[in-house]
Structure 1
Amino acid sequence: MNTAEIRAQLVMAQQQGRMLEVYNFNDDNDFNVGYVIAIDPLFVLMKSIDWDGKVSSLIAIRLTSIHKVRAFTDYLKTVAIKGAVARKNHYYDLWGTERFLKQHHYENKSLLKTMLTQAQSMDEAVVVGTRKYKAQDEFEGFVHQLTAQKLTLHYYNEHDLSSEWEYDILLAQIDYLRAFGTQSATTKAVMRSVFDD
């Protein structure tokens, strides 16, 4: 699929409120599932759904990193059924993501910068995937500084908690950004517990 076809599929899914599989990793065994919230010239913002059918976070994915989009698959049908069970038993949206989306609008905004700015101002942890490490490594931490071109992230390494680490990431190198969900909450807990930031 080319970028125009992918964008068209994303727009259609947003209009129809349809769940999608979005393939932005090198390996087709790894992909994101969710609902399209907004699209800008560079990113698509999705409400991410985990394999148990629960809302896991918001994720912004760089459009040029997406090589395939799928709908109406057996996997999505399974996730939707699990999601219905999660809704019925009141664990579908543990992090209040849907409430958050009602209070914060993303249309006609730079999705990446808006999410980073919100995370910084709300003291929320983020998960950053970069082009360089493409699904091999993610950086989980807090936005320390944000400029028009660069993000300075304070993050932790789960194999070396001797100190809080700092990493400068060019915004142009960010492949995806997760926030306001499970990984954000666990990252915040680890960093506050270990580093008392």
Structure 2
Amino acid sequence: MKTENENENRVQLTLAKQQGTLIEVHNLPNDEYFNVGFVVALDPVFCLMISIDWDGKINGLIVIRIKSIFYTERHSDYLVNISEKTKVAHTHNYFDIWQVQKFIDEHPAITRGDLLSNLLNDSYVNRLPVVIGTKKYKGSDDFTGIITALTPINVTLRYFNDHDLSSLWEYDILRAQIDYIRVRGTQMATGKQILKDIFNEM
């Protein structure tokens, strides 16, 4: 699998941010799944992106540990394809159904300082489900749930397993082990519905 060094990945992320262009971020061990979006902010450790799905619409915010990124791509047919789809999504008013851009515009501080802490705090304070991916599982599994405790070292997540809805589980995650988190989008909304309907948690 193609790899670039951390500095090169940071340069490409910075260019995508400056130019306001889509970028592919390959941060999982195979090329079957990767992130596409617009870079909103970078800090010394993480990048914050508005994530774009296959249909060309926003599906939430994602913060990714830059060191976990294998490589990025700023010029590909796939990106051209997604870019065209975003035009259709804009034209037919479904580009930002989760009002992610409005959230960023109204809360600009979310894009400054410690990006991971900003998103964790926002989801914790507002009791919004998050998706957390860790270094340990490296994309083979991630966890959707509610943050029940937050310290400078740890995140405690009360989460559900898509394949076993018999109960909720608890996972203490070291912040240093977090590779990415997804917030305020499709997975947040579906997670909220499952937690509400099946576990009476919301």
TM-score (norm 1): 0.97
1:107 Cα offset (Å): 3.9
How far did 1:91 drift? 0.7
Q: CA deviation at 1:108?
A: 3.4
Distance apart, 1:65 and its partner CA: 0.5
- 1:105-124 aligned at under 5 Å gives the runs 105=108, 106-124=110-128
Q: Distance in 1 between matches of 2:13 and 2:34?
A: 15
Equivalent position SS for 1:194: helix
Shift of 1:160: 1.8
2:63 alignment partner in structure 1: 60
Partners of 1:154 and 1:129 lie apart in 2 by 14
- 1:9 alignment partner in structure 2: 12
Matched, 1:23 2:26: yes
Match of 2:128, SS state, is coil
Q: Which residue is equivalent to 1:160?
A: 164
1:125 correspondence with 2:129: yes
What does the per-residue CA deviation read over 1:17-48, in whole Å, with 9 as the maximum and x for residues that have no partner? 01000010010222100000000111000000
CA distance in 2, matches of 1:181, 1:28: 23
Please report the TM-score for the alignment, with normalisation by the length of structure 2.
Answer: 0.95
What residue is the counterpart of 2:99 in the other structure? 96
CA displacement 1:102-145 (0-9 Å, x = unmatched)? 01223431111110000011121100011111111110001110
Q: What is the Cα-based RMSD across aligned positions, in Å?
A: 0.9
Greater displacement, 103-112 / 150-159: 103-112
Q: Deviations over 1:172-197 (max 9, x none)?
A: 00110000000000001101111111
Change (3 A) 1:191 1:24: same
Kept after mapping to 1: 8 A contact 2:58/2:95: yes
Partner SS, residue 177 of structure 1: strand
2:181 paired residue among 177, 186, 192: 177
Give the aligned length: 197
Q: Which amino acid aligns with 2:76?
A: T
* Equivalent-residue separation in structure 2 for 1:79 and 1:134 (angstroms): 25
- Find the residue that maps to 1:124 and give its secondary structure: coil
Q: Which among 165, 190, 196 is matched to residue 194 of structure 2? A: 190
Alpha-carbon separation, structure 1, partners of 2:118 and 2:53: 23
CA distance in 2, matches of 1:118, 1:16: 27
SS in 1 for 2:82: helix
Mapped contact 2:48–2:111 kept (Cα < 8 A): no
Name structure 2 gaps, 5 residues minimum. Answer: none
Identity of aligned residues (%): 46
Give the distance between the partners of 1:77 and 1:147, measured in 2 at CA. Answer: 41
Q: Distance in 2 between matches of 1:81 and 1:68?
A: 23
Q: Tell me the equivalent position of 1:48.
A: 51
The CA deviation at 1:12 is 1.1
- Provide the residue aligned with 1:34 in structure 2: 37
